[in-house]
Chains A and B, each alone.
Chain A
Amino acid sequence: MMNPLSRLRRSFEHGVHPAHHKAQTEDLPIQRVPFVKDYVMPLGQHLGVPSRAVVVAGERVRRGQLIAEPGGFVSTALHSPVTGTIREVGDFRGVDGRFAPAVAIEADPFATQQVDASAAVDWESLSLEKFIEAVQMAGIVGLGGAAFPSHVKLSVPDGVKIRHLLVNGAECEPYLTNDHRLMVERPEALLEGAEIVRQKLGAEETVIGVEINKPDAIEILRRHIRPDQPVRVVPLKVKYPQGAEKMMIKSVFGKEVPAGQLPRDVEVNVNNVGTIVAIADYFLRGMPLIERVLTVAGPGVSYPANLVVPLGTPVREVVRFCGGLKGDSREIIMGGPMMGRPIASLDVPVLKGCSGVLVFTETETARRKEYPCIRCGRCLEACPYFLNPSRLARLSRARMYDAMKAYHVFDCVECGCCTFACPSDIPIVQLIRTAKDDLMHRKEPEV
């Protein structure tokens, strides 16, 4: 029996309503892409300090074997996505076009590609420190897109109590359906993973927040909750950026995380659906993070799909599996269309944080005429952080970056609602990014 109150669509204030474009892939089961010949695993594919390679060229590695260890606390391990030979440890072109250290692996075409089954980990007997270390050594990072090392998130300082584990199944980015499919196809793994994290954190309950455009996911998750699992599935209003963790906390618990603080300061820990499933896969099946689910979609893709892709697979191979690019393809975005990043070449590899490969054509990328700001205020009504984007954009255009601090430019999470809402087509969030970048990397003049 469904509680009628739980049908209320909860939400945060402001935000925007882009068309979802999810129909292309939301009903397509997750498929596994075949293994290919070459893989590249960048050492810095998570937020923080790059990993340190522990293999050398010519060395033979098994699928799931450690190839790089954490380079510090805010860093994580890397594992080989295939059985094969290390071709090179050197610099390779990354997603942003820059060369960065990476491990290149050539797959063994005759190997079985069986995961190196190191058996399940007895998580219940692990101390909290050992548990967190295990998460780090499993290479698990936030799979929602930011790729922030999960063990750092799970490390709660003494005296801070976590009461709620919030599992983020909002998937508010248009086009993406990978979390949706995970919830529909692997509800047990999700609920088991959530239970592991909840018990280790000592939280009272697990809340899974799902936008109501995924009714099948909500229904299936609710059906699979065991009586001994303190789990609630909370349907959320379809609104971007519902999946931004502070927005989701506001939607579910009605609390605002104070600026500059973290969810744990309001007794919540937020993890993405994919991250929780990765934790279950490691502790229950011994599989480190060597592959991820992503959505290949967009008007430029011949056969859109939800795929399990080994990390390090070149985007070219992923796109080829989906029937290749259509003739008028002009731009490929890694991640979602609101916050993802464009890639300059099809040869860049799929990374831990890559939730989608979206291909856009002339139509979506045509430059529209930019008009002057008429101060209509649509960006103010869109900004979920209640900033004044119109003002920030003007100041950024005038290169008055320091003045932008007084308008709380660093509270901006770059969700892109302002640019989306602007009728004058002013690249507001892009201007804000420029300013933040300048302010963060500027060398202070010598006095």
Chain B
Amino acid sequence: MKNKDPDLLLFHAPLLRQGMTTPKAMRDVLYALLPATGASVWFFGLSAVLVLGACIAGAVLAEWFFDNGQPRGASLGDASGVLTGLLLGLTLPPGLPMWMALLGGFVGISLGKVIWGGLGHNLFNPALLGRAFLLATFPIAMTTWVPHGGGGELTGVYASNLALPFMQTGVDGVTAATPLGMLKFDQEVTPLTHLMFGKISGSLGETSGVLLLLGGIYLWLRRDLDWRIPVSILLTVMLFSSVLSLIDAARFPSPLFSVFSGGLLLGAIYMATDPVTSPVTPRGAWIFGIGVGVLVMLIRVFGGLPEGVMYAILLMNAATPLIDRYTQPRVFGRGADSS
């Protein structure tokens, strides 16, 4: 008795795949951000949980709301919405009203990703687009910084977090300036150890440089990020500020201060490296990183704002298609002139 042959499939080779998948890569970034997220809770207590949670809720809400059932567009399952929400939250002031954070997350996904065609099609980093929206819409709330809590007061909540939409929300009590703000407006330099370990005021995610670097190393080990981008950004910023501090050490910050202050590490490691919105070619990555570094320093030193990481990355995002076009890799067996 002859057995029936199996119905053979005709999938074309290669049949083998490596183990990494896109949702896994997204989750890796979430894991890499866990230490910095934990630090934000340590420094700002329940407020951090509320603001981050509201951002993530807003982002996921937008993903769900615009899920049209088409394979293209919706990306609820791949963790990219949660990641956008978390990244946005980490750039916000701890005392921001929750409803604003929620709105920011929603706008980041809908205007930053969905209208472009969904995951993989957007030109700008969705988290930064959400932040740019918030900064333009709520300039006062977005630049009101609470003093650092010292850490450990896990149940503390800033009253402004709970403000209702469109009510006057004067932040009660004391406010504080970020290290870059102090430098820009008061010519006061914050000690480096404070910058590295979070004894400063600032947005949720920028208060602990060391933990951000740690997450970056994890991502590099997992091959989830193009090391050229953070390396070129940080080197450019250090070089730029070395030159400046050689000219006038009193007026301009030291290279290490430049690297560890503000949102630079968060931006360089986690936002500029968003593969969708950064060049895919190796040479393009260097150009992109150098561009971000130069723009950051130009805004910080010569601009009206104390911090410029967000605008620097968004501007370079816009240049990404152009960079990609002119930095196609040299093909095997062809001279350098083949483009």
Return the contact of A339 from the options B13, B282, B328 (Cβ within 8 A).
Answer: B13
Return the contact of A427 from the options B3, B7, B10, B12 (Cβ within 8 A).
Answer: B12
Q: 13 pairs across A/B with beta carbons < 8 Å?
A: A331-B9, A337-B13, A342-B8, A344-B8, A365-B15, A372-B72, A372-B120, A374-B25, A376-B25, A376-B280, A380-B329, A423-B22, A425-B21
Cβ of B5 under 8 Å from chain A? yes
Cβ of A373 under 8 Å from chain B? yes
* Most chain A CB neighbours (cut-off 10 Å) among B7, B15, B22, B23: B15
| CB-based A-B contact count at 8 angstroms | 161
* Most chain B CB neighbours (cut-off 10 Å) among A376, A384, A421, A433: A376
Of residues 312 to 339 in B, which have CB atoms within 8 Å of A's CB atoms? 324, 328-334, 338
Quick check: A16 and B118 within 8 Å, CB to CB? no
Quick check: B333 and A174 within 8 Å, CB to CB? no
Quick check: B281 and A371 within 8 Å, CB to CB? no
Quick check: A421 and B18 within 8 Å, CB to CB? yes
Query: Interface readout for B11-45 with A: 1 if CB under 8 Å, 0 if not?
Result: 11111111011111100000000000000000000
Cβ of B132 under 8 Å from chain A? no
Interfacial chain A residues near B71, Cβ < 8 Å:
370
Quick check: B17 and A368 within 8 Å, CB to CB? yes
A416-B14, A427-B12 given. 6 additional CB < 8 A pairs? A260-B333, A338-B16, A345-B8, A371-B22, A380-B329, A424-B120
Cβ of B78 under 8 Å from chain A? yes
Q: How many residues of B contact A (CB 8 A)?
A: 46
Quick check: B11 and A337 within 8 Å, CB to CB? no
Q: In the A-B complex, list the 7 residue pairs whose CB atoms are closest, starting with the nearest.
A: A372-B120, A416-B14, A259-B333, A385-B332, A371-B22, A376-B275, A338-B14
Residues of A with Cβ closer than 8 Å to B? 16, 18-19, 174, 246, 256-261, 324-325, 329-333, 335-346, 360, 364-365, 368, 370-378, 380, 384-388, 390-391, 407-408, 411, 416, 419-425, 427, 429-430, 433
Cβ of B300 under 8 Å from chain A? no
Quick check: A407 and B9 within 8 Å, CB to CB? no
Quick check: B18 and A371 within 8 Å, CB to CB? no
Cβ of B6 under 8 Å from chain A? yes
**Assuming the A-B contacts A256-B333, A375-B120, are A388 and B17 also in contact, with contact meaning beta carbons closer than 8 angstroms in the complex?**
no
**Assuming the A-B contacts A380-B280, A387-B331, A390-B280, are A429 and B15 also in contact, with contact meaning beta carbons closer than 8 angstroms in the complex?**
no
Interfacial chain A residues near B8, Cβ < 8 Å:
330-332, 342-346
Chain B: which residue is nearest A430 at the CB level? Answer: B12
**Assuming the A-B contacts A337-B16, A377-B275, A423-B22, are A331 and B332 also in contact, with contact meaning beta carbons closer than 8 angstroms in the complex?**
no
Q: Cα distance A23–B252 when bound, in Å?
A: 62
Quick check: B121 and A372 within 8 Å, CB to CB? yes
Chain B: which residue is nearest A387 at the CB level? Answer: B331
Quick check: B16 and A344 within 8 Å, CB to CB? no
Quick check: A387 and B12 within 8 Å, CB to CB? no
Return the contact of B15 from the options A257, A331, A390, A421 (Cβ within 8 A).
Answer: A331
A137 → chain B closest CB, angstroms: 33
Interfacial chain A residues near B275, Cβ < 8 Å:
374-377
Quick check: B331 and A371 within 8 Å, CB to CB? no
Interfacial chain B residues near A332, Cβ < 8 Å:
8
Interfacial chain A residues near B276, Cβ < 8 Å:
374-375
Q: Cα distance A346–B8 when bound, in Å?
A: 9
Chain B: which residue is nearest A419 at the CB level? Answer: B14
Interfacial chain A residues near B120, Cβ < 8 Å:
371-375, 424
Quick check: A411 and B332 within 8 Å, CB to CB? yes
Quick check: A423 and B334 within 8 Å, CB to CB? no
Q: Cα distance A376–B273 when bound, in Å?
A: 9
Quick check: B119 and A371 within 8 Å, CB to CB? yes
Quick check: B280 and A375 within 8 Å, CB to CB? yes
Quick check: B21 and A424 within 8 Å, CB to CB? yes
**Assuming the A-B contacts A246-B332, A372-B121, are A364 and B14 also in contact, with contact meaning beta carbons closer than 8 angstroms in the complex?**
no
**Assuming the A-B contacts A331-B15, A344-B8, are A259 and B334 also in contact, with contact meaning beta carbons closer than 8 angstroms in the complex?**
yes
Interfacial chain B residues near A333, Cβ < 8 Å:
13, 15
Interfacial chain B residues near A16, Cβ < 8 Å:
18
Quick check: A342 and B21 within 8 Å, CB to CB? no
Interfacial chain B residues near A423, Cβ < 8 Å:
18, 20-22, 24-25
Quick check: A386 and B15 within 8 Å, CB to CB? no
A220 → chain B closest CB, angstroms: 29
Quick check: B14 and A386 within 8 Å, CB to CB? no
Query: Interface readout for B68-92 with A: 1 if CB under 8 Å, 0 if not?
Result: 0001100100100000000000000
Cβ of B226 under 8 Å from chain A? yes
B82 → chain A closest CB, angstroms: 15
Q: Cα distance A368–B21 when bound, in Å?
A: 10
Interfacial chain B residues near A419, Cβ < 8 Å:
14, 17
Quick check: B17 and A380 within 8 Å, CB to CB? no
Interfacial chain A residues near B3, Cβ < 8 Å:
324
Quick check: A408 and B15 within 8 Å, CB to CB? no
* Most chain B CB neighbours (cut-off 10 Å) among A19, A375, A387: A375
Q: Cα distance A384–B17 when bound, in Å?
A: 17
Quick check: B333 and A261 within 8 Å, CB to CB? yes
**Assuming the A-B contacts A246-B333, A333-B15, A384-B332, are A374 and B22 also in contact, with contact meaning beta carbons closer than 8 angstroms in the complex?**
yes
Quick check: B14 and A337 within 8 Å, CB to CB? yes
Interfacial chain A residues near B121, Cβ < 8 Å:
372
Query: Interface readout for B164-191 with A: 1 if CB under 8 Å, 0 if not?
Result: 0000000000000000000000000000
Interfacial chain B residues near A427, Cβ < 8 Å:
12
Quick check: A433 and B333 within 8 Å, CB to CB? no
Return the contact of A174 from the options B6, B16, B18, B23 (Cβ within 8 A).
Answer: B16
Q: Cα distance A365–B13 when bound, in Å?
A: 10
Q: Cα distance A371–B77 when bound, in Å?
A: 10
Interfacial chain B residues near A384, Cβ < 8 Å:
332
Quick check: A365 and B9 within 8 Å, CB to CB? yes
Q: Cα distance A259–B275 when bound, in Å?
A: 30
Chain A: which residue is nearest B120 at the CB level? Answer: A372
Chain A: which residue is nearest B15 at the CB level? Answer: A337
Interfacial chain B residues near A422, Cβ < 8 Å:
17
* Most chain A CB neighbours (cut-off 10 Å) among B11, B25, B118: B11
